[in-house]
Chains A and B, each alone.
Chain A
Amino acid sequence: MIKTVSHGLFFMARKAINRFFSMFSRVKEKVIGVDKRIVVISMRKRSFRDRRKRLKQERIREQAEKKLEQRVGEVSVAEELEVNINYITKTLGDSGDLITRCFTVQATPDRKAAVMYIDGMADVRIVDQFVLSPAMTGIEILRTKGNLMELLQESFIQSGEVKVTSKMKQLIEALLYGDTLFFLDGENKGIIVGTKGWDQRGVDEPKTAAVIRGPREGFTENLRTNSALIRRRLQDPDLRLKSLTVGERTKTHLSLLYIEGVTDQAVVQEMEKRIDQISIDGVLESGYIEEMIQDNMWSPFPLIQNTERPDAVVAHLLEGKVALLVDGTPHVLIAPAVFAQFYYSPEDYYERYLVSSFLRFLRLGSLVIALLLPALYIAFVSFHSEMIPVKMAIAMAAGRAGVPFPSIVEGLVMEISVEVLREASTRLPGPIGPTIGIVGALVIGEAAVSAQLVSPLMVIVVGLTTISSYANPNYNAAISLRLLRFPLMIAAATLGLYGVMLLLLLIILHLVKLRSFGVPYMAPIAPLRWSDLKDSLVRVPWPFMKKRPKIFRPQDEKRQQGGDDSI
């Protein structure tokens, strides 16, 4: 529904713009003083011109791409060292951080060699100790005769990751990814030495989705560290890791992880297909990918989960989902996702079942409060005051007596100021953040009430709502509910409980319609699956969850021995 509306809006906007421009051209024609028929002809001409312009633009783009291809694509390594160095230096535009070290190979003094790497991207110690040092001094003791290039590659460059290629494009891509290039005069090949090693943040406790019991490791910005964190927890030969690259300029590396034999292959294929279709210049965070591959662009609800916790990723992989690691961000995407899983914490599975079931009920309660409490307050105060107990109603009336605004204004002002406070304290540097909280609490809580701008109960309602919206392990799910709160408040102010209910029915329709990679978003509640309800609001003890959840269509259903029987 949102989709159709926004489509409609988009269409209307486009139409309006078109009309605007056509009006313009018509005016021009009128000024010149030609009759209507010519206007029509000129309009037709205009569309023709548009088409020509478009074609021209396309041609230019194609040529640019071709040029780029020509610049690096087909070029192969030359035999002369100087040519290669010059070519790479020119391609990178004399970049200041490109280090080129030329030296003479002592075994054959007439042959020069060069090492090229980008300062800060490559690990200088590895380059010095295991590439430069053996090549410069080790070769002196060389007695055997043979192909120097092969010898170098086989015995002297002491690195695990070595690749010989004659394609300039590959060489430059490797250089930009932190590898070191080795050229030898007289050889039309270059050696790529794996020396990636830039400064990075260490494995740290994740800032989001904190747990009391459970591993403290979180992902980092490095793709390989992240995949290693997962591999260490999941030493399964069936774990598949597909490498992909997205972003025409950033060349961001992605890793698609899944367990073969557990994950539904259709989801993997669909994921690859959708990633293939992305054509964007840069990907800086997994959020780019998330928005481009999710099923419904217009939904306020997140359709793909993200997490910073390797243990959570492993748990999802074991349930038959797919994880997507993006280089440069600690947030890993998990798909398909259902609504309920945004309210689960990894800790639910580490803590005993009673505790975690209780916590899940608590989260459901906080969800309802975060979504509905302000709307219900407004509806009760403006329409259904008979529902409030008499004594409380009197107290409330006393509190509201001096307030000059209707409850909806009061509510919106308070909610928006709390949102502003929240945003301010998120963006401010650490030590100042809490200060904002105190100032906000004082100003909004105390002063606003004593100045009779808002009623004391409204402050309680807003406070409860804000706290409840944080009692949710996933930030992006919480924020979508916080957004929906405002239309609900407006509905409550216009139609009372009836309005709230109407809007809720629409939201439920939207939720029921949503799908994430083929999985209905409200599963396992609608469509109902009894066996999957064991891990929903109540988490039953582990011995009873012998099978993986069916909603994700795992190929191998068994999770524990004895999973054949129907419990």
Chain B
Amino acid sequence: MSQLQPEGTITPYQGYALLVTTVIGVEVVVFPRFLSREAGPDGIWIMLISGLITTFLVYLMTRLCQQFPQQSITQFVPRILGSKHSPRLGRLLSAPLMLLLLISWLGIVAMITRSFGEVMVSAVLVETPIEFIMGTLCAIGAIVTSNRPEILARYAEFLLPFLYPPILLILFAVIQEGDWLNLLPLFQVNWHQVFKGLLHSLATFGGIKVILIFMAFYQQPQRAMHSHISAMVIIMIGYLGTFLSALSIFGKDEIVHLLWPTLEVVKQIRIPGGILERVESAVLVVWMVAVFTSITAMLGASVQLIISAFRLKEHYRKWIALGGAAIVYFVGILPTTVNQLLQWSYRFGLLDVGIALALPLLLFGVLKIRGGKGAIEQDEQPPV
């Protein structure tokens, strides 16, 4: 007897959408300031290099997950680290790794939520308490993440097209206000600045390791590489465009005095025909979509991590999502000032990228040393 269409798995395009919407998020409005402060116009190529580095990390993680199709990270990491005779050892060894993943995700989501609240309060909803904005955002985030990863992927897929129009707007601003001279002079930095710039630009790529969780649900993990790499290219183009526009409009000296440089870029736009006087509220709305998809992807990844680590039943998902959102809220209100908040988000972003670098390298190393013993079971998997 034939069956109705099942809930479905994550298609390659959905994988692309997930990665793009996860990485592009709250950082877009802030990072030109840091990058310009550390490296000036040289941020352009530093951004490019860090983009290449993260693309390489994504490549590593994708390769790792491709070796274990349809298996979640909580299944294959113990297998790599432990032995067949004592599966408990593997799970024991992988526990700190999982904890680290969880901490980094929840931390990033908390910082995202807080930063979003700060921007909202400073730019649009001046009289609304930030706790209320964060609370509603966390509540809605919990509702969304109490759904299965397949639905989260479809959600990201649906929302992705809304992220494209602001690119046009930013282009518009550059044409109206930009000055190419602001992009010069290049190659004026020393190695120390390059390093610090690199760290700052790397931190903006936080969130790439959600693919470790979501790849377990991919329809064709073999085709994931293409969609992930193209997602990274799109993200790089988006970030470069944002940085270039902010730099060309304000110049490297003015940019460091702006709290939210990208928002200022948008404020420069004058729409001909006079339909809207200023578009920053509209852009903030789109940016909210980007932020929200980052929150749901990372919170959803944490929820799925817990579910699969403890092999919980499906109906616990909403409670875990609720608990995760509560943690996010209470961590989010911890930073006392915006400056501290930005420091924290920088560190969490770095932690995220650091794990993204260390985890695949470690696991690949162990795999190599053990002669692919952990991956032996993959032959038992049905070919996809």
- Residues of A at the B interface (CB closer than 8 Å) are 1, 4, 264-267, 269-270, 383-384, 386-393, 495-502, 505-506, 508-509, 511-513, 515, 517-520, 522, 525-528, 553
The reply to whether A384 and B154 contact each other, CB–CB distance below 8 Å, is no
Contact with A along B136-168 (1 / 0, CB 8 A): 110010011001000100110111000000000
The reply to whether B278 and A386 contact each other, CB–CB distance below 8 Å, is yes
A441 to chain B: closest CB distance in Å?
27
Stretch of B239-247, B250-258, B279-287 lying at the A interface: B279-287
B120: nearest chain-A partner, CB-CB: A498
Interface residues on B, range: 35 or more
The reply to whether B5 and A512 contact each other, CB–CB distance below 8 Å, is no
Q: Which residue in B137, B158, B279, B282 is a CB contact (below 8 Å) of A512?
A: B158
Q: Which 3 residue pairs across A and B have the least CB separation, nearest first?
A: A518-B4, A518-B5, A526-B158
- A–B Cβ pairs within 8 angstroms, 30 of them: A1-B143, A4-B318, A266-B3, A386-B277, A386-B278, A386-B281, A387-B278, A389-B274, A389-B276, A496-B124, A496-B125, A497-B284, A499-B136, A501-B288, A508-B158, A508-B159, A509-B147, A511-B158, A512-B154, A512-B158, A513-B151, A518-B5, A522-B154, A522-B158, A525-B157, A527-B14, A527-B154, A527-B157, A528-B13, A528-B157
B156 to chain A: closest CB distance in Å?
9
Q: Is the interface of A mostly helix, strand, loop or mixed?
A: helix
The reply to whether A526 and B136 contact each other, CB–CB distance below 8 Å, is no
The reply to whether A495 and B2 contact each other, CB–CB distance below 8 Å, is no
Q: Which residue in B2, B5, B125, B275 is a CB contact (below 8 Å) of A383?
A: B125
A532 to chain B: closest CB distance in Å?
13
Q: Which residue in A497, A517, A522 is a CB contact (below 8 Å) of B4?
A: A517
The reply to whether B5 and A498 contact each other, CB–CB distance below 8 Å, is no
Q: Which residue in B8, B140, B282 is a CB contact (below 8 Å) of A505?
A: B140
B1 CB–A CB distance under 8 Å: yes
The reply to whether B11 and A528 contact each other, CB–CB distance below 8 Å, is yes
Cα(A517)–Cα(B4), bound, Å: 7
Chain B residues numbered 337-373 whose CB sits less than 8 Å from any CB in chain A: none
The reply to whether A266 and B124 contact each other, CB–CB distance below 8 Å, is no
Q: Which residue in A4, A390, A501, A518 is a CB contact (below 8 Å) of B285?
A: A501
- Residues of B at the A interface (CB closer than 8 Å) are 1-6, 8, 11, 13-14, 120, 124-125, 128, 133, 136-137, 140, 143-144, 147, 151, 154-155, 157-159, 274-279, 281-282, 284-285, 288-289, 292, 318
The reply to whether B8 and A506 contact each other, CB–CB distance below 8 Å, is no
The reply to whether B2 and A265 contact each other, CB–CB distance below 8 Å, is yes
Interface hub of A383, A496, A527 (most chain B Cβ within 10 A)? A527
Cα(A525)–Cα(B125), bound, Å: 33
The reply to whether B277 and A267 contact each other, CB–CB distance below 8 Å, is no
The reply to whether B1 and A269 contact each other, CB–CB distance below 8 Å, is yes
Cα(A513)–Cα(B275), bound, Å: 35
Chain B residue contacts of A517, Cβ below 8 A: 4
Cα(A510)–Cα(B285), bound, Å: 20
Cα(A139)–Cα(B1), bound, Å: 55
The reply to whether A505 and B277 contact each other, CB–CB distance below 8 Å, is no
Chain A residue contacts of B278, Cβ below 8 A: 386-387
The reply to whether B136 and A525 contact each other, CB–CB distance below 8 Å, is no
Cα(A254)–Cα(B136), bound, Å: 47
Chain A residue contacts of B158, Cβ below 8 A: 508, 511-512, 522, 525-526
Interface hub of B8, B155, B284 (most chain A Cβ within 10 A)? B155
Known: A389-B274, A497-B285. 13 other contacts (CB 8 A): A1-B143, A4-B318, A389-B275, A389-B277, A392-B274, A498-B124, A498-B288, A500-B285, A508-B155, A509-B144, A512-B154, A517-B4, A518-B4
Chain B residue contacts of A388, Cβ below 8 A: 276-277
B2: nearest chain-A partner, CB-CB: A266
Q: Which residue in A266, A387, A390 is a CB contact (below 8 Å) of B282?
A: A387
The reply to whether B154 and A505 contact each other, CB–CB distance below 8 Å, is no
B13: nearest chain-A partner, CB-CB: A528
The reply to whether A520 and B154 contact each other, CB–CB distance below 8 Å, is yes
Q: Which residue in B128, B140, B155 is a CB contact (below 8 Å) of A502?
A: B140
Q: Which residue in B2, B144, B289 is a CB contact (below 8 Å) of A269?
A: B2
A295: nearest chain-B partner, CB-CB: B4
The reply to whether B277 and A506 contact each other, CB–CB distance below 8 Å, is no
The reply to whether B125 and A498 contact each other, CB–CB distance below 8 Å, is yes
B275: nearest chain-A partner, CB-CB: A389
The reply to whether B128 and A495 contact each other, CB–CB distance below 8 Å, is yes
The reply to whether A383 and B124 contact each other, CB–CB distance below 8 Å, is yes
Chain B residue contacts of A384, Cβ below 8 A: 124, 281
A272 to chain B: closest CB distance in Å?
12
Interface hub of A496, A525, A526, A528 (most chain B Cβ within 10 A)? A526
Chain B residue contacts of A522, Cβ below 8 A: 154, 158
B210 to chain A: closest CB distance in Å?
18
B133: nearest chain-A partner, CB-CB: A498
The reply to whether A509 and B8 contact each other, CB–CB distance below 8 Å, is no
Chain A residue contacts of B289, Cβ below 8 A: 501, 505
Interface hub of B11, B14, B136 (most chain A Cβ within 10 A)? B136
B109 to chain A: closest CB distance in Å?
16
Chain B residue contacts of A392, Cβ below 8 A: 274
Chain B residue contacts of A518, Cβ below 8 A: 4-6
B1 to chain A: closest CB distance in Å?
7
The reply to whether B277 and A509 contact each other, CB–CB distance below 8 Å, is no
Chain A residue contacts of B285, Cβ below 8 A: 497-498, 500-501
Cα(A519)–Cα(B275), bound, Å: 40
Chain A residue contacts of B4, Cβ below 8 A: 266-267, 270, 517-518
Chain B residue contacts of A389, Cβ below 8 A: 274-277
Q: Which residue in B2, B124, B137 is a CB contact (below 8 Å) of A497?
A: B124
Chain A residue contacts of B277, Cβ below 8 A: 386-390, 393
- Known contacts: A266-B2, A387-B276, A508-B158. The answer to whether A520 contacts B13 by CB under 8 A is no
Chain A residue contacts of B6, Cβ below 8 A: 518
Chain B residue contacts of A265, Cβ below 8 A: 2
Cα(A315)–Cα(B127), bound, Å: 54
- Known contacts: A387-B281, A527-B8. The answer to whether A512 contacts B151 by CB under 8 A is yes
The reply to whether B124 and A513 contact each other, CB–CB distance below 8 Å, is no
Chain A residue contacts of B2, Cβ below 8 A: 264-266, 269
